[in-house]
Structure 1
Amino acid sequence: MATRVTSLLLASHPGPTLVVTAVAAGLGIGLGYSPGRLALLALAILLGQLSIGWSNDWLDAARDRAVDRADKPAARGDISPTAVRAAAFSALGLALVATAPLGPGALAAHAVAIAGGWAYNLGLKSTVLSFVPFAISFGLLPAIATLGQERPVVPAAWVLLAGALLGVAAHITNVLPDLADDERTGIRGLPHRLGAMVSGLLAFGCLAVATALVALGPGWPMRPALTVGLVLGLAAAALGVVLLLRSSPTRLLMQLIMTCALIDVLMLAIAGQSVVAA
């Protein structure tokens, strides 16, 4: 039983799942959520991310097995795709139930964000529009937080754009290490069509612009903490470009994006109510 639970957790893409949940929690803290409401927001986002991660491993089990993906429990046979599918649908339903008390706006935004992740897994990953679900889902994350307040408000446009750009960067750097395996199994998203170098440069360009938007969005003069965040974010983007130029793409590029996402959410927490539309 313990092995089955461990395999199921590993099939959920735990790294990105936890990072996105932490981003949502950071947004809630910055917006002044009460502890109970903050816990509900984090739980809802966690369940939504679990459903997306599990649906990915369920739908990709045969393809992952064909390319010997040793990091995928369903492909290794540690857990059946049927069990992962059941977990994906269960988490999907629970995510919507957990989001409902945050209000209809937050529920609608979260439903669309989850739908984006599922649409990617169901086939958009194989098209030139593979970046769209990530842009939509990451872009809507701040909206779930602002609309989930007791007095819901829409987020500022720069926050939505920054989230969308981070989503595009996350998509590209997640795919880059698997370009060859994907080609063997018929997956040809935008990064496959652009090639590793162009895609990587695009990803870190998106990262740099997103960080600049988060730093400059609250207005001028820039707060000292946001200045530090801007420097760290741009340094992460520069390091990513250096790594891309010096070696083959690895999972480290995705880890850089996730680290920068956490830096950006700390900046958004500092910005507080500045993230809402005027």
Structure 2
Amino acid sequence: MRFRKQRGQTVSLALAAHPLPAAAMTVALTTAAALSGRSARECVLVAVTVLSGQLTVGWINDLVDRHRDRQVGRQDKPVAMGWVDPGTVAFAAAVATLLVVPLSIANGTYAGIAHLGAVGSAWLYNFWFKRTWLSWLPYAVSFGLLPAFLSYGGLGGGMHGAPPTIEMTVLAALFGVGVHFLNALPDLVEDKETGVRHLPLRIALRIGAPRLLWISVGYTVLVGAGLVAAAFTVGLRQ
């Protein structure tokens, strides 16, 4: 979405958090928690935990990329456009970080560690990996840890649940790679102009963006279908 006029501070702060991906991840993981048999209270905790983590990822992304986004004239980036002060976004990210740590551990010790690992991996993508051919790795790690977050999850600290199945872990990691490619494809031109040579860009320069798009969509749909099938056959927990 391209914004044609300046937004207020509150709206700009919300837009800088990448609300659509944050909402999608929150809904998907909360739904998965519900389908795995978690109680309503546990599902609410999962939702709040995931949302807080996603907010930190979105805000850090826009902070790190603000100069590059300004360079290419990204009108869908409130920080780059100057509609919200970077200090305000940094403060919001810090507050969300202070919340995500206890919220994660409130899902159980192992579940909390898995979720914090997933969030930390996403931060590493923002800070460095997105500029390299290893850009796919943080996505694979973050998504690969999510089955553990769900399988070990419970209400309150301590040990809950059981390890996730290997099939769910591997498929979730592979799905994350597909998500990375689909996220990167719309910004290939801007990334090339600013020297962000992640793996999708490197491949697109060799085979063309349209072809890579079809491959990425087909791959992600196929792996996603396998992930759903595994959830209903093999199951989440060992």
Normalising by the smaller structure, the TM-score range is 0.7 to 0.9
Q: Match for residue 3 of structure 2?
A: none
**SS at 2:23's partner residue?**
helix
Structure-2 separation of matches of 1:274 and 1:148: 15
Consecutive unaligned residues in structure 1, runs of 5 or more: 218-267
AA at the equivalent of 2:127: L
From 156, 172, 191, the equivalent of 1:182 is 191
AA at the equivalent of 2:85: S
Scaled by the length of structure 2, the TM-score of the pair is: 0.88
Q: Match for residue 106 of structure 2?
A: 101
The reply to whether residue 276 of structure 1 matches residue 227 of structure 2 is no
Q: CA deviation at 1:25?
A: 0.3
Q: Match for residue 70 of structure 2?
A: 65
Q: Over aligned residues, Cα RMSD in angstroms?
A: 1.8
Contact 1:30 1:273 in 2 (8 A): no
Contact 2:167 2:234 in 1 (8 A): no
Q: CA deviation at 1:15?
A: 0.5
Contact 2:60 2:90 in 1 (8 A): yes
Structure-2 separation of matches of 1:14 and 1:81: 18
Higher relative contact order, structure no. (Cα contacts within 8 Å, ≥ 6 residues apart): 1
Which segment drifts farther, 201-210 or 142-151? 201-210
Structure-1 separation of matches of 2:143 and 2:215: 17
Q: CA deviation at 1:207?
A: 1.3
What are the within-5 Å matches in structure 2 for residues 20-59 of structure 1? 20-59=25-64
Count of equivalent residues: 224
Structure-1 separation of matches of 2:218 and 2:107: 34
**SS at 1:274's partner residue?**
coil
From 116, 128, 134, the equivalent of 2:133 is 128
From 196, 204, 214, the equivalent of 2:227 is 214
Q: CA deviation at 1:215?
A: 4.3
Scaled by the length of structure 1, the TM-score of the pair is: 0.76
Q: Which structure shows the higher helix fraction?
A: 1
From 11, 15, 19, the equivalent of 2:16 is 11
Q: Please list every run of at least 4 consecutive aligned residues from structure 1 whose deviation after the TM superposition is greater than 6 angstroms.
A: none
Q: CA deviation at 1:173?
A: 1.3
Contact 2:115 2:145 in 1 (8 A): yes
**SS at 2:235's partner residue?**
helix
AA at the equivalent of 1:154: P
1:174-200: CA deviation from partner (whole Å, max 9, x where unpaired): 111211111111100001110124542
Which segment drifts farther, 5-14 or 189-198? 189-198
1:131-175: CA deviation from partner (whole Å, max 9, x where unpaired): 111111122122111111363211112211222222111111111
Q: Match for residue 4 of structure 2?
A: none
Structure-2 separation of matches of 1:216 and 1:272: 6
Q: CA deviation at 1:205?
A: 3.8
Structure-1 separation of matches of 2:141 and 2:219: 14
